[in-house]
């Protein structure tokens, strides 16, 4: 399927190059991701399914990525799976083989496509895509597997909170009063950032992140490029600014975290531990300490270039247990409804 559509695309492109004016063909070939006329009419997007965008980078994880993509593709909730390949030095041959394997060994109903990112920028994972046919998008890394029930539950939580960011892994910003700067940390009882290890959001936020916010957002996106990190934090800024509310943390029954060095900060590892079970706070390795420091610097930079601290705290976690707890507003905070 992939190969066929690639060949079709090539054929169509050549057709345009040879039979139409060059200006037209160029526009066809290098489309501007922020050209909103090229994107789907939001009214035509489906809201009963989700599009999964998995970030891929390291070749050694391809087998894992393949099983992850196949699992999502088999879910009736999934409309399509896109693997966004961000490593520019991976040989085309490897990707062609991977793409072949994806079609050959996946039997799910949702199509899986492998897309080589046109830019190594981490911002590219949030580019709006005309191929996304759903209102909801799941952004995830290649290192986390979530069980099907927790995934379905997270999608239901999104359905009732479609403007919020939904995630399984949370972090927090805070202020270091003595040094008067922002830090990146974990609080036992509140959070303001969900990680792209697993993040559900509205398709429209991809456009807001990539194309909205004028020159301030352009500067914020270049902070991401300079740091080669923190695109997830910036998305939390964008959505918090838009909604005036923090993200929603969902408890997973089962999450396996294969550990990506890029995410290695405070070593939560396991989704079940979620908010409070943040083990390993003591004895931080220096690499983790460095990672946290850089993430704190990103928060300070985003605050500076965007001119305000948009991040908002949320409290509590939505869990899918007996009676299905939900979050309720209480005194301006979200708490479990059964705690009222």
* Dist. CA 199–CA 251, nearest whole Å: 13
> Would you tell me which residues interact with ligand NAG (CB under 6 A)?
62, 94, 97-98, 101
Q: Identify which of residues 94 and 118 has a Cβ nearer to ligand NAG in the complex.
A: 94
Can you name the residues that pair with 139 across neighbouring β-strands?
53, 199
What are the C-alpha distances in Å from 133 to residues 50, 82, 148?
8, 12, 22
CB of 258 to ligand NAG, least distance (A): 17
* Dist. CA 96–CA 2, nearest whole Å: 10
CB of 66 to ligand NAG, least distance (A): 6
DSSP, collapsed to helix, strand or coil, labels residue 139 as strand
Q: Identify which of residues 6 and 281 has a Cβ nearer to ligand NAG in the complex.
A: 6
CB of 335 to ligand NAG, least distance (A): 46
Report CA 328 to chain centroid distance, whole Å.
Answer: 25
Q: Identify which of residues 49 and 106 has a Cβ nearer to ligand NAG in the complex.
A: 106
Q: Identify which of residues 98 and 198 has a Cβ nearer to ligand NAG in the complex.
A: 98
Length of the chain equals 340
CB of 287 to ligand NAG, least distance (A): 29
Closest-CA residue to 69 (of 129, 142, 122, 13): 142
Q: Identify which of residues 64 and 245 has a Cβ nearer to ligand NAG in the complex.
A: 64
* 240, 210 Cβ separation under 8 angstroms: no
Rounded CA Rg of the chain? 20
The active-site residue, picked from 232, 257, 265, 268, is 232
Can you name the residues that pair with 166 across neighbouring β-strands?
200, 248
CB of 6 to ligand NAG, least distance (A): 16
CB of 98 to ligand NAG, least distance (A): 4
24: how many CB neighbours lie within 10 A of its CB?
12
- HSE-up of residue 79 (Cα within 13 Å, Cβ side): 17
Which helix (H) or strand (E) segment is 183 a member of?
strand 181-185
DSSP, residue by residue, 305-323? HHSS-----EE-EE---TT
Told to judge if 232 belongs to the known catalytic residues of this protein, a careful annotator would answer: yes
Q: Identify which of residues 62 and 122 has a Cβ nearer to ligand NAG in the complex.
A: 62
CB of 10 to ligand NAG, least distance (A): 22
Q: Identify which of residues 106 and 210 has a Cβ nearer to ligand NAG in the complex.
A: 106
Say if residue 1 is exposed, middle or buried (CB neighbours under 10 Å; 0-12, 13-18, 19+). Answer: exposed
* Dist. CA 338–CA 310, nearest whole Å: 29
DSSP, collapsed to helix, strand or coil, labels residue 204 as helix
Torsion on CA atoms 223, 227, 232, 236, rounded to nearest 10: -40
> Catalytic residue numbers?
232
């Amino acid at each position: 399927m992939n190969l066929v559509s690639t060949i079709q695309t090539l054929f169509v492109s050549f057709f345009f190059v040879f039979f139409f004016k060059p200006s037209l063909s160029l526009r066809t070939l290098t489309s501007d991701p922020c050209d909103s006329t090229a994107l789907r009419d939001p009214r035509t997007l489906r809201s009963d399914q989700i599009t999964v965008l998995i970030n891929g980078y390291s070749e050694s994880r391809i087998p894992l990525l393949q099983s992850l993509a196949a699992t999502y593709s088999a879910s009736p909730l999934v409309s399509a799976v896109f693997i966004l390949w961000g490593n520019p030095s991976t040989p085309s041959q490897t990707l062609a083989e991977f793409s072949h394997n994806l079609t050959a060994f996946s039997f799910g109903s949702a199509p899986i496509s492998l897309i080589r990112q046109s830019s190594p920028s981490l911002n590219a994972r949030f580019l709006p895509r005309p191929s996304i046919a759903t209102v909801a998008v799941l952004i995830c890394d290649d290192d986390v597997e979530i069980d099907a029930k927790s995934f379905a539950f997270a999608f239901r939580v999104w359905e009732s909170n479609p403007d919020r960011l939904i995630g399984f892994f949370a972090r927090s910003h805070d202020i270091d009063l003595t040094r008067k700067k922002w830090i990146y940390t974990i609080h036992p009882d509140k959070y303001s950032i969900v990680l792209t290890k697993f993040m559900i959001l509205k398709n429209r936020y991809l456009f807001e992140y990539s194309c909205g916010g004028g020159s301030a957002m352009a500067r914020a996106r270049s902070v991401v490029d300079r740091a080669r990190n923190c695109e997830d934090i910036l998305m939390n800024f964008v959505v918090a600014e838009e909604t005036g509310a923090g993200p929603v943390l969902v408890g997973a029954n089962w999450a396996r975290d294969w550990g990506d060095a890029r995410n290695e900060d405070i070593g939560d590892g396991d989704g079940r531990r979620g908010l409070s079970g943040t083990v390993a706070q003591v004895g931080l390795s220096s690499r983790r300490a460095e990672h946290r420091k850089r993430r704190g610097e990103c928060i300070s930079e985003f605050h500076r270039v965007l001119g305000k601290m948009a991040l908002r705290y949320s409290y509590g976690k939505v869990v899918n247990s007996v009676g299905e707890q939900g979050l309720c507003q209480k005194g301006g905070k979200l708490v479990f409804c059964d705690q009222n």
